Amino acid sequence: MAGGEKTSSNYMNLLDIRNMPWAISAYELAKSLPQGQLKELTQKQALLVAIGRVVPLVELHFTNNRTLYLTSNGSDLVFEGKWYRADAMLQSLTAPKQTPEINNDGFSVTISAINTEIQEIIEQKGAQNCLVVIRGGVIDDKGEVAACFEYSTGYINNAKLTLDTKAGKLEVTFEADSINANLDKIPGNRPAQAVHKARFPNDNFFKYTGVKNPEEWSHR
């Protein structure tokens, strides 16, 4: 299966775009500013010129070290040593709504199952409990991935094979539980800043995360 080895963290902070020459030049052009006037963009300025070209980058980590890298972009993409195929295999994605609260909703990835290797993986149950990652790749003016942010991560709990004889399609939908789905309610842990700081003094995670109805939780 296509795809390179992971050489470092797959995650690139979207704020890195602020320093990229193409983004600075695009913003100056959009605002009729002299070229070369700005040295760095603010986050808001960077998003104005970059967020319009975001494509999904999907990773399916099956058993026996078989990994599938897919994108809906018009051409193949390479990011951090990974080659994302732009063929018609990736059919559709469903992802949970993004909210400021901790979200443990599941999601799904549908791909073509015409490939015999995919059929073999399904028959051998090689997808069960396997990792699925959906990222958003920000495309620059050269058609390359300038930055990447994680959208959904989880583990496959079911694989549904669908044959559409009229359309001539054979597809498989991998349904996945969110990585947050195994949070269990037990006394002692609450997703609140005060409780979290007591356990991890240097971590301000909950300071920036809104929780409407605090619940007791922990990892199983």
CATH of residue 79:
2.30.110
Same domain, 177 and 84: yes
User: If pLDDT is split at 50, 70 and 90, which confidence band does 141 have?
Assistant: confident
Percentage with pLDDT > 90 across the chain: 21
Q: Classify residue 26: in a domain, yes or no.
A: no
Q: Is the pLDDT of residue 39 over 90?
A: no
**pLDDT score of 8:** 37
Residues 103 and 208 in one domain: no
Top-confidence residue, 160 or 203: 160
Which is it for the CA torsion 42, 207, 200, 11, positive or negative? negative
- Give the mean model confidence (pLDDT) for residues 69-92: 91
Whether residue 217 lies inside any domain: the answer is yes
Report pLDDT digits (tens) over 110-134.
Answer: 999 988 888 888 888 889 999 999 9
SS3 206: helix
In a domain, 42, yes or no: no
Residue 65 predicted with pLDDT over 90: no
Residue with tokens 């195929």: 85
The verdict on residue 82 lying in a domain is yes
Residue 126: how many CB atoms within 10 A of its CB? Answer: 17
The tally of domains found in the chain comes to 2
The domain in which residue 188 lies consists of: 183-220
- pLDDT of 10: 32
Are 60 and 165 in a shared domain? yes
Spell out the alpha helix ranges (H) of the chain: 21-30, 43-50, 116-123, 193-199
Verify that 150 and 71 share a domain, yes or no: yes
**Residue 38 placed within a domain:** no
Residue 73 lies in a domain: yes
77 and 163 together in one domain: yes
Domain co-membership, 213 together with 193: yes
pLDDT at 149: 79
Give the pTM.
0.62
Q: Please tell me the predicted confidence (pLDDT) of residue 193.
A: 66
* 69 and 168 both lie in a single domain: yes
Beta partners for residue 61, in sequence order: 67, 131
Instruction: Give percent of the chain with pLDDT exceeding 70.
Output: 67
Same domain (yes/no): 204, 139: no
Residue 128 and residue 161 in one domain: yes
- 166-210 confidence digits (pLDDT tens): 888 899 999 998 887 665 444 555 556 666 666 666 666 666 555
Same domain, 83 and 172: yes
Q: What is the pLDDT of residue 41?
A: 83
The whole-chain average pLDDT of the chain stands at 76
In a domain? residue 37: no
10 Å Cβ neighbour count for 20? Answer: 20
Is residue 192 located within the same domain as residue 144?
no
- Which range (43-47, 64-68, 75-79) has the least confidence? 43-47
Q: How far apart are CA 214 and CA 209, in angstroms?
A: 11
If asked whether residues 132 and 150 sit together in one domain, one would say: yes
Q: Which pLDDT score, from 0 to 100, does residue 4 have? A: 45
